[in-house]
Chains A and B, each alone.
Chain A
C-alpha cells in the first residue's frame, strides 16, 4: 500500500505559508532498555485558520511530535529533521529564543486543566505572568487585558474570577482559563493536546465550540491531538493518522473519516462504538440472553441516600433518593457526568460504602444487616472491574496469582484446581497461557483489563460491577474488550451494573439505562427509550453533546444541538473580542 506523502489535499490549506511544519521528523529516546523509536520521519503542516487533527492510539508518537514544536522533549531524546514554527527553525534556537517563541508564536492547551494551572496562584496572577513574560502588558494594563481575555473565552464576571484560585472554578472553566492563557500573546498556532479528554461530554462540546470559533475569528492554526474520532469529526479540516511513529494517512476530514484508505484507519473507525446503532456492533450477537425478572433481583437499590461527612462543614450528599433494579442476567448501564454519583452507587453495590439511608440489596440481602461471615459469602457472589487496569492490579504480584486471589481468599479448591481454573479464565479472556507468570507492567492496557475481568470472573459471580471498565483504554482495545465482555456475559449470564460516561458504549451493551445527574436519577428505562427517545432535558443535552465520527453527520448534530441550546435558553460558546495589545519588543 502507499502512504500519501502530500500533506496538502485538494482545496484545503496551502494558500498561506504554514505556521507550523514538520519535515522528516525523527525522535528516538535512550532508555534503560536501549533505544526506542517514537517518531519515524514524518512530515506535516498546519496553515493559518486550519485545524489539523493528529489521531492515534497511545504510543503512536502524536504527543511527542507536538512537544518537538515547543522544544520541550527530555534530554534523552534524539531528534532529526526540521521543525518550523512560522519561519523559525525550532531546533536552531537557543534557550532564550525558545522561551520567546513559546507562548508568543506557539501556545499549548493541555489535557488536564487541573494540573496545567498552578493551584497556589490566582487565575489573575497566572494570566498576568504570561503577559508580562512576553512584554505584552504590565501592571494594571496587564490586569485589564487578563480580564478581557477571560471575558473573551466566555467566563462570566472576569474581574472577580481573576482573584480566584483554580480550585474555585469548574473543570470547563479551568480549561477556558488555559485557553485564555494560550491566547494571551496572540499565538499564530495553538497545540491542543487532548484538550477535552478530561472533561465531561457536555463541557467538551462547549470547549470544542470555543476552539472552533478561535480558528474562524482569529485565523489561528490549531494542531489538535486526540484519540477521539468524534472530536476529530467535529473539529478537523484535515486529519493525520499516526500509528507507531508513522503517519499512515493524511487527508481532509471527509476523506479520512468517511473514505479511509489505510487499513489501520479503517480498523480504528470500525472500533468506534456508534451512538444509536444499538447492540449489533463489532460483530456482537444482536439477541440478548434472557433476563429473569420473576426471581429475586441481583441488585436492588431503594431510596438510597449517601452522605459524605466533612469536618466542620455540612455533610455532602453524593446520592439522593436513588432507586433502580438490576435483574438476573441483565446489564444495566449507569450513565452520568463527573460528580453525578454513579461511582458512589457502584461502591454501594459492592458493599464498601454503606448508604446513609435507604437499602442496597444484593440477591435480597443487605450488606448492612449481615454478619461478617455472611458478608464475605455475599462478596463471593460479586465481581468487580475497575476503570484503570494499571491501578487495579498489584504491580508486585504475577498475573496467575492475581486471578487466583479471590479463590484463595474464599478457600476454593486446591492449588492445582485453582491453577487449572486460572488457565481456563485466561483462555476465556483471550490471553495466552504464557501470561500466567507475567507481571502486570509487562502487559498492555487492554491485556491488563482482561486480567482484571478474569479475576472478577474467577468465582463465577452472579453480579458484576464494572466501573468505567473501558474508559482508560484505546478505542481498538476498548472494542475488543467490550466484545469479549459481551461474549462472556452471554455465556455466564451474570447480571451487571455497568457504569460509564460514554453513551455509545452503554448503547451497545445495556438492556436498561439509568441516567444520573448531581446524585439524582434523572431518567431511567429501556435502552431504546432512554437513548433514542429521551424525555428529560438533561438526557437530551447529553446525547446531543456526544460527537459522532462522521464530519457531515456531526455538522448536522452540532447545528441541532445549537438549536436545542437556543430552545433551552443557553448561548453557544464563542470567542469574544480578544484584546490585541501592542507588539512586544
Chain B
C-alpha cells in the first residue's frame, strides 16, 4: 500500500539542519588520521612555547637555550623510555654544553613562527592574485598569470636564497619567502573562480546590481575556501622545509638565535660522534611537517567528499 505524501512541498520542520560548514566540520572530526595529527601538532606547539617560555614569559623547563651547563658524561641524551626518566638533559648537550632540549624547543618556536607567517602571507597573496585574475579575466588575468609563470620558472631555492639574503633576519625572512610560495595557490584559486564566476548565482547577484567587490567577497571567495584552507596547510609544510633548507645552506636564521634548520646545519659534522644533535631537530621537523600535511589531507577530504574512499 502506497501512501501519497500530500505535503510534498513541506520543509522538514524538526529535523536538525546542517549548514555546509557543519557538514565539513563533522567530516573532519571523523577523519582519524587528521584528528590524531591535529592532537600531536597541538601538543608540539604547547610543548615548544611553554617549556622554555617565550619572550619575557618564563617556561617550566629550568634551563634556557643560550647558557652553557656543566657536561654530564659525553652530553648524551638522559631521557630513557625503559626506566622512564627525563634526566638532567633529556635531549643531551651540544659540543659546548648547551642544553639541547631548550635549543630544539627554541628552534621549533622559530620554525613554527616563520612557517605560519609564511603560510598565511603567501595564502593572502595567492588568493588575491587568483581572485582578481579569475574574476576579471582579460588583461588583468594575462598580466597576473604571466607574473605567476615567471615566479614559477625561477628555481624556488635560488629565488628564496637571494630574497632572504637581501631581507635578513627572522622577520625579513617571514615577509620575503611568501613571495616565492604563493604561485600554486594563485593558480588553484583562479581555476576555482573561473568555474564559480559562470555559476548562475553570481550572474543573479550581478544582475541585481551588486558591485564587483560584493560579488567577489560574498559569492566567490566562500566557494574557494576549500582550496585555500588546504593550500595553507600545504604551504606551512613547504615553508618549514624551505626555512630549514635555507638555514642549512646559510641564508636564513643566524646565531645566537636558532631554528631547526640551523641546528641540523651546525651539527651536521657531529652526526657520527653525537648523532642525537642531528636526530632531535630532524625528528621535530618531521613531526611538524607530517602533522601539517595530514591535517591538510583531512581538510581536503572534508571539503571535497567526492575524493574520499567510500566508507566500507
Contacts and interface: CB of A to CB of B under 8 A. Distances in A.
Contact of A244 (B1, B2, B205, B211): B2
B20 A376 contact: no
Contacts of B211: 409
A376 B8 CA distance: 39
B208 interface: yes
A396 interface: yes
A464 B295 CA distance: 47
Contacts of A3: 1-2
A318 interface: no
A392 B200 contact: yes
B190 to A, nearest CB: 19
B204 A392 contact: yes
Contact of B207 (A382, A388, A452): A382
A264 B3 CA distance: 9
Interface residues of A, number: 58
A431 B13 CA distance: 12
Interface string B177-213: 0000000000000000000000111011111111100
B32 interface: no
A439 B204 contact: no
Nearest to A386: B200
Nearest to A376: B209
B219 A437 contact: no
A459 B18 CA distance: 29
Contacts of B17: 437-439, 442
B209 A406 contact: yes
A434 interface: yes
Contact of A352 (B1, B207, B219): B207
Contacts of B9: 430, 444, 446-447, 477, 480
Contact of B310 (A76, A264, A383): A76
A74 B310 CA distance: 10
Contacts of A263: 4
Nearest to B8: A476
B222 interface: yes
B208 A406 contact: yes
Contacts of A25: none
Nearest to B202: A394
Contacts of A452: 204
Nearest to A350: B207
A439 B12 CA distance: 12
B11 A384 contact: no
Contacts, number: 109
Contact of B20 (A32, A375, A441, A480): A441
Contacts of A434: 11, 13
A212 to B, nearest CB: 31
Nearest to B198: A391
Interface string A51-70: 00000000000000000000
Nearest to A444: B9
A513 B4 CA distance: 37
A431 B11 contact: yes
B11 A438 contact: yes
Interface in A246-269: 246, 248, 263-264, 267
A379 interface: yes
Contacts of A375: 209
Contact of A395 (B11, B20, B205): B20
Contacts of A108: none
A212 B252 CA distance: 76
Given A391-B199, A431-B11, A405 B209 contact: no
A447 B11 contact: yes
Interface in A395-421: 395-398, 405-406, 409-410
B209 A379 contact: yes
A405 B200 contact: no
Interface string B38-50: 0000000000000
A405 B199 contact: no
Contact of A439 (B2, B19, B209, B210): B19
B2 A248 contact: yes
A376 to B, nearest CB: 4
A350 B21 CA distance: 33
Nearest to A75: B310
A459 B204 CA distance: 14
Contacts of B206: 352
A410 B214 CA distance: 12
Contacts of A274: none
A435 B210 CA distance: 24
Contact of B214 (A392, A409, A432, A438): A409
B223 interface: yes
Contact of B201 (A264, A393, A442): A393
Contacts of B307: none
B272 interface: no
A455 interface: yes
B249 to A, nearest CB: 44
B20 A388 contact: no
A447 B12 CA distance: 12
B204 A384 contact: yes
B310 A409 contact: no
Contacts of A76: 310
B207 A379 contact: yes
A444 B13 CA distance: 14
B82 interface: no
Contacts of B13: 432, 434
A430 B8 CA distance: 13
Nearest to A391: B200
A352 B209 contact: no
A44 to B, nearest CB: 15
A405 B10 contact: no
A584 to B, nearest CB: 35
A387 to B, nearest CB: 8
Contacts of B207: 350-352, 379, 382, 384
Interface in A442-462: 442-444, 446-447, 452, 455, 459
B2 A352 contact: no
Contact of A246 (B2, B10, B204, B310): B2
19 contacts: A3-B1, A3-B2, A244-B5, A246-B2, A264-B4, A352-B203, A352-B207, A384-B208, A386-B200, A394-B218, A398-B19, A406-B208, A409-B211, A430-B9, A442-B18, A443-B11, A446-B9, A452-B204, A459-B208
- What are the 3 A-B residue pairs with the smallest beta carbon separation, nearest first? A392-B200, A379-B209, A406-B208
Interface of B: 1-2, 4-5, 8-13, 17-21, 199-201, 203-211, 214, 218-219, 222-223, 305, 310
Interface of A: 1, 3, 32, 74-76, 243-244, 246, 248, 263-264, 267, 350-352, 375-376, 379-380, 382-384, 386-388, 391-398, 405-406, 409-410, 430-432, 434-435, 437-439, 441-444, 446-447, 452, 455, 459, 476-477, 480
Given A392-B201, A434-B13, A435-B11, 6 more contacts: A380-B208, A394-B201, A396-B223, A432-B11, A444-B8, A459-B208
